[in-house]
Chains A and B, each alone.
Chain A
């Protein structure tokens, strides 16, 4: 069915999605890939469904609605573990894109350079996928299957991102590296979340984006931080041999693969150092 539908309930949206309509939200990626003056083919616009945009707290989770915009996220009262995500929300595109572009769209679009992914990985985020068949949850790392590829089924909508309360602990940081200051596709980016206990690292979560087909967590480097003293020397524990094997960067017009790997290490160190000193080093 061709046409453009913009339902205001999730049920209607799922019914339309079951007919195979293409999903539109903030359209910042969708329209950018369209040559003509209009979206063509069947379009399911999910931005009129209030519940999909809500950011809320449940006993177990922080729930970020799929159509929450990056500006919504930046302004939402979220704990410091989300500081990295908020920093990403401010670095993604520019104000115009942040006011329209959505969390869910960023993930479903599944660019290897999606600015939202690394922080959400460090927050152990899950995605909620709904269809008329029911609702399922998937870890974000399992949802993102490759460049421009996800586990989203033809009849499913990504309805929310869920961050478990257990992972919403500590402080988060995000550093983005591009060849210019604003409105730039990342060459590499790093996210870190440190949960400290008495000056030591109780738990570290590290992730790197734009250096693999999808953003990656770095368990080896995380293990090296666990239990260590959270001081000026902590960042040095992040070494290339703990990071680079976990990545598969490519050469492209923005940078070489070798450069990306080296930059990832530097960005991770700076993100961690920033969390230790309470100040973020500039990328």
Chain B
């Protein structure tokens, strides 16, 4: 019966497909019909990305056997747009409801079903209808806005004029494919005939292993098997070269559960049918090192790292002990955080093939194409120029797609088999094999004088960095720099250690350890304010860093906007306190509370080079091309960098054609991490735009205040004295096929830190503060966050629409960190045991932007991406304590932990 022909009617067209009746409808739509708009995020009904309508009702295509869909009307995202985008799709674009775009098709389909019944739904109805589709980027606010507004969706606005792109709420330039379901992610549209690759992974956190008869097993199954022995290069990669320690395929020993030890490659059907539990490998399980405390005296994971210490970090200024001894008020506390999973809705996916010229092309989701190229080349024994990375659209990243995942594996398979090879991680595989947020065990003391001026702070943090280095060194160095918060602290000592265990590799996750440290620092500041008898906002304002003052690293800071953020929150703070008091006056099990937290975050690498290079050129035919190498994982670099470039050059944004990212076509813009792209790549774009403008003005012999117009093959340069028409086809073609071209690089000016962490770790910082208003059910320990007011200093808001989306999405992740997210290896490798917020968990969010220009940032701009999630969790914890007195010393604040803390507080 398998392989019988099924009749499927999709978007009104009937297809006869030869597919097993028990095959997931999602697989049939994608694999048999090439309808890649239906996304697969979990294969378990947990994420809703694959939602399609059957006879008008939303179902998960991954849970639907094809046989059950036969003969019924199936609607997919591809059917929503006719001649152009539908109203709903337009509303998504207009509201910025699609960031990475991976959940967008699922969201559109449930919304379509809702709107068919209720054209003007209430917000609550929309939230409930969308409750079964997870989004990790947006915080849902703009998605719900778009659905509520779909009936009245506006026509596209007028694009900004030349010189007016920066500051305009421009729809994302790469948005149409996302809302049309046409965006091509790593698993979409692989080369025809590509072989499928699967990894054999360690089921144990620590084990030695040996292989049996690989050749015999491979022959019997009609597949090829490759192990570390087949890797032609150096089997070692890592994002920070001096610490690179991770094998692409483990050699003899596995150091964490989920580590790949072999790959199998072959025709799709053969590889799909494999029972990898029968793979000829023998495991000798070793005792797993599960906690940093135990790791210090345990077996070494890496011989060169005694005590399993990867590295540490240290910032010292003044004498913290003496200051604390002399302080009028001192508070001390501890905080524990857990592994947190990035939980992007797109599991890692991509493909590789060897081109006729011998180049190995890899198209996969990534945040760091050039790093991928260099590391993959090293592992595969190729020169970097022989590897081309073409980033697929990334369905979320948040840090974990900075590290290599499948790139060397599909690359190896393609090199060895000579065929295109593709790989798609399953949800469990994605969760077990990729990096996590570092769990922290932190202690701190803070003291102030009788007036509430902070005198000293002492901080220790031990971070579980898991089996390999990844970004552990970055966390270890970032945390001591940031654990002060954006405050004036004359005497300070902060030390950190990153310790190896047999836990998942802890790497980069939006904030690099700073969110963890802020939870402890900001909750202690609340206690200290209380001890000093000060309002919590006033206390922060009193101690907020000001322009010209020095950070704990001794860096003189300018463009410091924390005080402005706090001041902007003051009216809401007073109103929220009054509202909570009024709500509590009536008694009952629900107690209302208000909490506040600040944040700061340095943009770019910590006192290490991280240049970006931007190329811009005009062709003989008058096309303006921006080679934009910053990967846009949903945060908006494609749009924001183009806005900056357009205004620096003086041509309208609409003239800009985006090229890349692609390591063959775009200069290196580094990685999308550390909130650096708007600042670093943006600065390079402004420089490149300025250089091209200077070139044009010189050629036209026109003044600085000239306006530029591209009209067909002519560039018209006009100033008060007149205009010059440059016939572009008359100009000689230069490098890269342009008649006019500029390429500029920018690297943040930093100064290495000395042994006390003194120096200039970052050239630009961003600042922010958030208020959380919530209620705690004191009988059940559940927390409901009603409202968050977020004030963030962006220096210059390049695109308020995208910036708001970043704030809302960061708050969603911060809320998850605070209340529900806890990754337990081997136990939560799915999206029903590992919980991230749904539509119904999100508060109302008010965003306030402060523009205190940074002297170094492009047009004054600062980074934003990571800042936004830092204050959320501490603000929530502070509000829980304000509401109930419950003092949590670990997150997530799951209901049973809140209830236990309530009992401890005697409430």
The reply to whether A31 and B44 form a contact with Cβ atoms under 8 Å apart is yes
Q: Does A93 touch B at the CB level, under 8 Å? A: yes
Is B781 interfacial (CB-CB < 8 Å)?
yes
Q: Across the two chains, which residue of chain A brings its CB closest to B62?
A: A31
Name the contact of A94 in the complex, choosing from B24, B48, B824 (C-beta under 8 A).
B48
Q: Are A256 and B896 in contact (CB under 8 A)?
A: yes
Contact A259 B781 (CB under 8 A): yes
Which residues does chain A contribute within 8 Å of B896, judged by CB atoms?
255-256, 258-259
Is B59 positioned at the interface, with any CB of A under 8 Å from its CB? yes
Q: Is the CB of A177 within 8 A of B132?
A: no
Contacting residue for A3 out of B2, B58, B60, B426, CB 8 A: B2
B782 touches A177 (CB 8 A): yes
Complex Cα spacing A38 to B819, Å: 35
Would you call B824 and A40 a contact (CB within 8 A)? no
Complex contacts, B133 vs chain A, CB 8 Å: 94
Residues 130-161 (chain B) with a chain A CB within 8 angstroms: 131-134
* Segment with Cβ contacts to A, from B375-383, B620-628, B837-845: B837-845
CB atoms of A253 and B131 under 8 A apart: no
Residue of B nearest to A5 (CB): B1
Pick the interface stretch among A156-164, A181-189, A211-219: A181-189
**Residues of B45-69 contacting chain A, CB below 8 A:** 45-46, 48, 51, 54, 57-60, 62-65, 67-68
A24 on the B face (CB < 8 A): yes
A4 touches B828 (CB 8 A): no
Residues of B within 8 A of A96 (CB): 45, 48, 51, 58-60, 63, 110, 132
Contact mask A93-106 → B, CB, 8 Å, 1/0?
11111011000000
Please determine whether B59 and A99 come into contact, CB atoms closer than 8 angstroms.
yes
Q: How far is the CB of B68 from chain A (nearest CB, A)?
A: 6
Chain B residue contacts of A35, Cβ below 8 A: 43, 426, 428
Is B128 on the interface with A (CB-CB < 8 A)?
yes
What's the minimum C-beta distance from B828 to chain A, rounded to whole angstroms?
A: 6
Q: Which residues of A contact B837 (CB under 8 A)?
A: 180
User: At the interface, yes or no: A202 with Cβ under 8 Å from chain B?
Assistant: no
Report Cα–Cα, A100/B44, bound state, in Å: 13
Which B residues lie within 8 Å of A26 (CB)? 63
| CB-CB contacts below 8 Å: B404-432 with A | 426, 428
Among B15-23, B303-311, B316-324, B563-571, the stretch in contact with A: B15-23
B44 (CB) vs chain A CBs: closest residue: A32
* Cross-interface CB contact of B779 among A253, A256, A266, cutoff 8 Å: A266
Q: Chain B residues with Cβ under 8 A from A256's Cβ? A: 896
Distance between Cα atoms of A267 and B779 in the complex (Å): 9
**Beta-carbon contact of B841 and A181 below 8 Å:** yes
Q: Is the CB of B22 within 8 A of A38?
A: yes
Question: Quick check: is B293 within 8 A (CB to CB) of the other chain?
Answer: no
The answer to whether the Cβ of B848 comes within 8 Å of any Cβ in the partner chain is: no
Could you tell me the distance between the alpha carbons of A43 and B24 in the complex, rounded to whole angstroms? 14
Report the separation of the CA atoms of residues A32 and B46 in the bound assembly, to the nearest whole angstrom. Answer: 9
Contact A38 B780 (CB under 8 A): no
The interface residues of chain A, by DSSP majority, are classed as loop
Which of B1, B113, B272 gathers most chain A CB within 10 Å? B1
Residue of A4, A34, A47 with most partner-chain B CB within 10 A: A4
Check A222 for interface membership: any CB of B closer than 8 A: no
Query: Interface code A7-48, partner B: CB below 8 Å = 1, 0 otherwise?
Result: 000000000000000001011100110111111100101010
B451 at interface by CB-CB < 8 Å = no
CA of A26 to CA of B62, assembled, Å = 12
Residue of B23, B273, B896 contacting most chain A CB atoms (<10 Å):
B896
Smallest CB gap from A71: residue in B:
B57
Is the C-beta of B632 less than 8 angstroms from some C-beta in chain A? no
Q: How far is the CB of B619 from chain A (nearest CB, A)?
A: 45
Q: Which residues of A contact B163 (CB under 8 A)?
A: none
CB distance from A67 to the nearest CB of B (A): 11
Question: Does A263 sit at the interface, judged by CB under 8 A?
Answer: yes
How far does the alpha carbon of A31 sit from the alpha carbon of B900 in the complex, in Å? 37
Q: Which residues of B contact A237 (CB under 8 A)?
A: none
Q: Residues 809-849 of chain B: 1 if any A CB is under 8 Å from the residue's CB, otherwise 0?
A: 00000000001101010011000110101111100000000
CB-nearest residue of chain A relative to B426? A35
Instruction: Say which residue of B63, B129, B428, B840 sits within 8 Å of A100 (CB atoms).
Output: B63
Q: What are the residues of chain B within 8 A of A37 when measuring CB–CB? A: 23-24, 27, 31, 272
Q: Is the CB of A179 within 8 A of B895?
A: yes
Q: Is the CB of A4 within 8 A of B21?
A: yes
Q: With A31-B44, A259-B895 given, can you name 16 additional A-B contacts, CB distance below 8 Å?
A: A4-B1, A24-B22, A28-B45, A36-B273, A95-B57, A95-B131, A99-B58, A100-B60, A177-B780, A181-B840, A182-B840, A182-B841, A183-B134, A255-B895, A255-B896, A259-B781
| Subset of 23 A-B contacts with CB under 8 Å | A4-B21, A4-B65, A4-B67, A6-B21, A24-B22, A24-B65, A31-B24, A31-B43, A32-B43, A32-B832, A38-B23, A38-B27, A45-B21, A96-B63, A100-B63, A177-B895, A179-B894, A183-B131, A183-B132, A183-B134, A184-B838, A258-B896, A259-B781
Q: Which 3 A-B pairs have the closest CB atoms?
A: A94-B132, A181-B840, A182-B131
